[in-house]
Amino acid sequence: MKKLPLALLGAICFCACKFNSNSKTLPIYGNRSAVTQTVNGQTVTDTVYATIPPFKFVNQYGDSTGSKDLAGKIYVADFFFTSCPSICPIMQRNMLAVYHAYKNTGDVKIVSFTIDPKYDTPPVLKTYADKLGVAGNSWWFLQGNRDSVYKIAEKNYLVAVSKDSTAAGGYVHQGWFVLVDKQQRVRGSYDGTDPKQVAQLVDDIKTLKMEPAGGK
């Protein structure tokens, strides 16, 4: 008889924990604005979140690839260059963990933008992908116009990149892995040089996969 309240308490705790893990949501990053509209005579205010604007670059196979191919998909973005001597190798080593976790699911992709488009042409990117052991279309290495890539990096993915002849390799950039949801909204930013944060990223993708494609 005495054990009953204890068991009940245990059950409640268990449910609470379970409920918590199911209802986990990721924050939505970027500027947001409230849009007030009149729908059927009633005033409705909606929050509009920042999204990644449309872009169109070229992937390692020489195909035109962009936001159209990423619509309705979850993806992880990072910025690198193939001749990078500093943090890129460790970033791509950690990104391989994401690649191996989701390479067989069509709705999760990885997009690595080169910040050295002059040198990193599609054939160079293809050789790099081959050497890294990356095949298929779940990880794209994109070459785009330098200014467009830098602009999208800083304004939309919130990653600082710049050309700097005094830095090793000639460029400085941050090692963030940026998680983008099915609606093109930034949902997370992870230190790509830290295996622990990358493991968290792999986990958070599972949470995002549970969200419907059309809205919250």
Partner 1 sequence: MKIKVVLGVCALLAGLIISCQGGDTLEFNRYYSEGSTVYQTHCQNCHGGHGEGLNGLIPPLTDSAFLKNNLHQLPCLVQNGLDGKITIGKRVFEGKMPAATGLANIEIAQALTYITNSFGNKLGIVNVEMVNSDLGKCR
Q: Rule CB under 8 A: which residues touch partner 1? A: 83, 85-87, 89-90, 92-93, 96, 128, 130-133, 168-169, 193
Question: Shortest approach of partner 1 to residue 172 CB, angstroms?
Answer: 15
Assigned token pair, 144: 């785009």
Check: CB of residue 189 under 8 Å from CB of residue 178: yes
Q: Which one-letter amino acid corresponds to residue 34?
A: A
Question: Shortest approach of partner 1 to residue 88 CB, angstroms?
Answer: 9
Assigned token pair, 30: 């970027």
* Alpha carbon distance, N-terminus to C-terminus of the chain: 45
Between 13 and 168, name the residue whose CB sits nearer to partner 1: 168
Burial 103-133 (b: 16+ CB within 10 A, else e): beeeebbbbbbbbbbeebebebbbebbeebe
Between 66 and 169, name the residue whose CB sits nearer to partner 1: 169
Report how far residue 104's alpha carbon sits from residue 109's, in angstroms, rounded to the nearest whole number.
Answer: 10
Among 112, 110, 52, smallest CA distance to 78 is for 112
Between 124 and 205, name the residue whose CB sits nearer to partner 1: 124
Question: Looking up tokens 């298929």, which residue turns up?
Answer: 136
Between 60 and 184, name the residue whose CB sits nearer to partner 1: 60
Between 86 and 121, name the residue whose CB sits nearer to partner 1: 86
Question: Shortest approach of partner 1 to residue 119 CB, angstroms?
Answer: 12
Question: Shortest approach of partner 1 to residue 170 CB, angstroms?
Answer: 11
Question: Shortest approach of partner 1 to residue 87 CB, angstroms?
Answer: 6
Assigned token pair, 200: 């968290």
Q: What is the largest CA-CA distance in the chain?
A: 77
